[in-house]
Amino acid sequence: MPTIATLQRANHGGGFRAYGLRAAAALINPFLGVDHAWMSEPTFPPHSHAGFSAVSYVFLDSETGISNRDSIGTRNLIQPGGLHWTTAGRGIVHEEVPAETGKTVHSLQIFVNLPRDRQDMPPAALSLDPQNIPSIQLPGAKVRVPVGNYGEIRSPLNPPTEVTMLDISLEDGAELNVPVVKGHCIFVMPIYGTVEVEAQRFDREDLKLPVFTAQNTPHRITLGAPQGDAKVMLFSGSPLPFL
């Protein structure tokens, strides 16, 4: 049975709202937090990170992309369907704003721990454009693989922390079995619609999501869409020691 984690609503002015998974790092390790966000105007001034990675994933249905810049000289557009991984390491300053005025970015902001021996590494940036993110079409389901792998389908990204992030779309009534690697923690975030995870139902507005702690053997979890189309993000990774 999963442990249930709680989401918090967050708003900043009139241009940013989010469902945030925070204060649960010990439970979702190696992830530190995830914000499912909508941003329609520049919200956060240039800010610094150190000792972990900050990842931006823009959903395919986003009205616009993210204009990203940082203190190591990166200047790029994170397009709808694309991903940008910022390894803060010993420290980086970055800023992300909607690429087009008056349009809304629909994205995830994901924070990932670094192994102890990499927490003071030089800052770096990795990007994947939408067309370079592999996907697989299955009966009633589509799985995009921005990071990590789904079976034999593997993302070309090589991040400093080995994790998997899957963007899963389910048609009404469909089910999908997702393999889980031995020793990996896994959690599922509803993006829209109602999703059934191991026979328990979750919806974004319920402000809850399931977390499965690491097990000593490989296993599978079953996702379903019991009442209409649904989309979820699935996250997994091997827990890291905290300092």
- Listed residues 98, 113, 130: the one ending a domain: 130
Mean of the per-residue pLDDT values of the chain: 96
Q: What is the mean pLDDT of residues 48-64?
A: 97
Same domain, 102 and 18: yes
Domain membership of residue 106 (yes or no) is yes
In a domain, 14, yes or no: yes
Residues 123 and 16 occupy one common structural domain:
yes
> Does residue 125 share a domain with residue 11?
yes
pLDDT of 158 higher than 60: yes
pLDDT band at 97 (very low <50, low <70, confident <90, very high): very high
- 3-class DSSP string for the chain: CCEEEECEEEEECCCEEEEEECCCHHHHCCEEEEEEEEECCCCCCCEEECCEEEEEEECCCCCCCEEEEECCCCEEEECCCCEEEEECCCCEEEEEEECCCCCCEEEEEEEEECCHHHCCCCCEEEEECHHHCCEEEECCEEEEEEECEECCEECCCCCCCCEEEEEEEECCCCEEEEEECCCCEEEEEEEECEEEECCEEEEHHHCEEEEECCCCCCEEEEEECCCCCEEEEEEEECCCCCC
Confidence of residue 187 (pLDDT cuts 50, 70, 90): very high
Domain boundary among 109, 130, 151: 130
pLDDT tens-digit series, residues 189-241: 999 999 999 989 999 999 999 999 999 999 999 999 999 999 999 999 999 98
Q: How confident is the model at residue 169 (pLDDT cuts 50, 70, 90)?
A: very high
pLDDT given for residue 1 in this prediction: 83
242 with 187: CB under 8 angstroms? Answer: no
CA distances from residue 48 to 45, 51, 100, 147 in whole angstroms, order as listed: 10, 11, 24, 24
- Whether residue 14 is predicted with pLDDT greater than 90 in this model: the reply is no
Tell me: pLDDT of 110 over 70: yes
- Would the pLDDT of 242 be above 80? no
Residue 228 inside a domain? The answer is yes
- Determine the Cα–Cα distance for residues 230 and 110; give it in Å rounded to an integer: 21
Structure tokens at 48: 């610094």
Domain that holds residue 32: 7-130
- Is the predicted pLDDT of residue 124 greater than 60, yes or no? yes
Residue 208 phi, psi (nearest 5): -140, 150
- Average pLDDT on 161-165 reads 98
Q: What is the mean pLDDT of residues 158-168?
A: 98
- Residue 13 confidence (pLDDT): 84
212: domain CATH number?
2.60.120.10
Residue 101, Cβ neighbours under 10 Å: how many? 10
In a domain, 242, yes or no: no
pLDDT for 243 equals 53
Mean pLDDT of 134-161: 97
- Domains of the chain: total: 2
Q: Is there a domain that residue 2 lies in? A: no
- pLDDT for the residue numbered 156: 98
Taking residues 24-28, report their average pLDDT: 94
Contact 35, 108 (CB under 8 A): yes
